[in-house]
């Protein structure tokens, strides 16, 4: 009989214990949810999903910084007075839709990156220089912007984009060496990427 009571007690208490545990766990779960809701209501933190493309700007900024560094390093390598204007070169290229390597490459071909420019002209590109006529600029930023804008509007807009095509109008007397030189320096800037 003692064994019967023990078996009945186990049979009776086990389901009761399971039910009690389930009720208690439910209570704890409800309590946690209530606490979480309370803390969210009183929180001053705002949560928002980031829009698609949020990382696009960061990637684009890194690419631009890389191009500026590449141009600056190219100028430094050859001891050019254009070194402080690397950012101007990249900004003007973006503004007018040109390959950022074109302006440094033409400057290298025409004046050894301004080391052989006409004194006080700030004209490193042989731009508008023929005979006794010399196009003068007030400073390098003005020159960079003007030359880049002209290449975009008077050359690229007319289908003259490669150094070979540009050469036909920019320096028509060249036997091809001008385009070869510009291509060489553009490739040097490209391999820096």
CATH of the domain at 109: 1.10.530.10
| 8 A C-beta contact, residue 105 and residue 99 | no
* Mean pLDDT, residues 175-187 taken together: 93
Q: What is the pLDDT of residues 94-115, one digit of tens each?
A: 999 999 999 999 999 999 998 9
Q: What is the pLDDT of residues 122-174, one digit of tens each?
A: 988 988 877 788 888 999 999 999 999 999 999 999 999 999 999 999 888 88
Domain assignment present for residue 187? The answer is yes
Alpha carbon 68 to its chain's center: 10
Domain assignment present for residue 34? The answer is no
Domain assignment present for residue 12? The answer is no
- Quote the DSSP letter at residue 23: H
CA–CA separation, 166 and 188 (whole Å): 19
pTM of the model: 0.66
Residue found by looking up tokens 């007030």 in the block: 138
- Quote the DSSP letter at residue 192: T
Total structural domains within the chain: 1
| 8 A C-beta contact, residue 133 and residue 186 | no
| 8 A C-beta contact, residue 155 and residue 166 | yes
- pLDDT attached to residue 163: 93
Domain assignment present for residue 80? The answer is yes
- pLDDT attached to residue 51: 57
- pLDDT attached to residue 30: 61
- pLDDT attached to residue 191: 76
Which class for 174: exposed (0-12), middle (13-18), buried (19 or more C-beta within 10 A)?
middle
Q: Mean pLDDT for the chain?
A: 80
Domain assignment present for residue 39? The answer is no
Domain assignment present for residue 96? The answer is yes
Which class for 118: exposed (0-12), middle (13-18), buried (19 or more C-beta within 10 A)?
middle
Domain assignment present for residue 9? The answer is no
Domain assignment present for residue 171? The answer is yes
Q: Is 177 strand, coil or helix? A: helix
Structure tokens at 150: 């002209």
Q: Which of 117, 183, 176, 119 is nearest to 147 (CA)?
A: 117
Which element (helix H / strand E) includes 66?
helix 54-77
- pLDDT attached to residue 7: 54
- pLDDT attached to residue 118: 84
Range of the domain at 182: 55-191
């Amino acid at each position: 009989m003692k064994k019967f009571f023990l078996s009945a007690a186990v049979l009776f208490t086990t389901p009761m214990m399971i039910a009690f545990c389930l009720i208690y766990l439910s209570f704890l779960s409800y309590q946690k949810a209530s606490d979480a809701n309370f803390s969210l209501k009183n929180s001053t933190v705002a949560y928002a999903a980031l829009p698609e493309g949020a990382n696009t700007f960061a990637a684009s900024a890194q690419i631009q910084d890389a191009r500026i560094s590449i141009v600056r390093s190219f100028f430094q390598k050859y001891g050019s007075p254009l070194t402080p204007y690397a950012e101007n070169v990249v900004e003007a290229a973006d503004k007018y839709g040109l390959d950022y390597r074109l302006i440094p490459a033409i400057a290298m071909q025409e004046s050894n990156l301004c080391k052989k420019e006409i004194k006080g002209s700030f004209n490193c590109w042989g731009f508008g220089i023929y005979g006794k006529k010399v196009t003068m600029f007030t400073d390098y930023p003005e020159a960079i912007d003007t030359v880049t804008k002209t290449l975009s509007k008077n050359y690229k807009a007319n289908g003259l984009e490669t150094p070979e095509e540009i050469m036909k109008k920019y320096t028509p007397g060249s036997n091809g060496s001008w385009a070869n030189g510009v291509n060489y320096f553009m490739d040097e800037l490209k391999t820096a990427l």
